[in-house]
């Protein structure tokens, strides 16, 4: 099954706009790894606030996707097809990459590899940094993460053996959730800034743009 957008040039321009916003950031090397750490709720809340402040500082916003275990695949789907609804197709292609190119990823998986990719094929199974690398390789894309990490706010995942043909921009919150990110523009910018500063003043947790 093939999915395509009718406005590829327009969407490529959106990706380029995000890249220009973050052009002064230095990325850190990406090391594929499986999920092994889930933060405490209090730590995750602080991390989320840090991420929101970074998004605001760079004039970006999140398109939030459902936190149903498929968020990485939904966010990638939104970046590629401007809809999170093709997450099953995205997961299928990533698992296919894991199966067909075993030698590229097996060293990063501390369990029986066949068990790993079979588990990853199930809807609701969380994506990890191994699946991100497989996605970059499969879709020939540079995947750029704006993170909530205190020490590192920007991570790049690049295809191993090909020059990237596109960029996919995701936010990554505290090892638990991915969203799709874009540049703020026009009326949307005005609405976002109003809600953002109101939430800061009142001390509320900011949950914008829920799917």
**Active site positions, annotated:** 68, 71, 177
Name the β-bridge partners of 60: 183
Q: How far apart are CA 42 and CA 32, in angstroms?
A: 26
Query: What is d(CA 66, CA 181) in angstroms, rounded to the nearest whole number?
Result: 14
- Two structure tokens written together for 165: 């043909």
Q: Looking at the chain, which runs of residues are DSSP E strands?
A: 60-63, 141-147, 154-157, 166-173, 177-183
Question: CA 84 to CA 71: how far, in whole Å?
Answer: 9
In our burial notation (b when 16+ CB lie closer than 10 A, e otherwise), range 63-102 reads: bbbeeeebbbbbbbbbbbbbebebbebbbebbbebbbeee
């Amino acid at each position: 099954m093939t999915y395509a957008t009718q406005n590829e040039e327009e969407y490529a321009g959106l990706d380029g706009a995000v890249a220009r916003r973050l052009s002064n950031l230095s990325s850190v090397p990406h090391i594929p790894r499986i999920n092994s750490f889930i933060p405490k709720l209090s730590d995750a809340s602080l991390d989320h606030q840090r991420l929101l402040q970074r998004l605001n500082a760079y004039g970006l916003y999140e398109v939030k996707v459902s936190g149903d275990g498929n968020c990485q695949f939904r966010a990638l789907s939104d970046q590629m097809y401007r809809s999170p609804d093709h997450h099953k197709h995205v997961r299928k292609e990533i698992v296919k990459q894991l199966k067909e190119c075993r030698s590229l990823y097996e060293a990063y998986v501390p369990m029986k590899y066949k068990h790993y990719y079979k588990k990853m094929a199930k809807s609701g199974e969380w994506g990890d940094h191994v699946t991100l690398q497989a996605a970059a390789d499969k879709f020939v894309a540079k995947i750029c993460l704006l993170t909530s990490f205190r020490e590192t706010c920007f991570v790049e995942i690049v295809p191993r053996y090909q020059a990237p043909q596109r960029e996919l921009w995701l936010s990554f919150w505290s090892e638990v959730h991915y969203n799709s990110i874009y540049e703020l523009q026009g009326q949307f910018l005005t609405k976002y800034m109003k809600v953002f500063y109101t939430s800061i003043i009142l001390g509320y947790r900011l949950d914008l743009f829920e799917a």
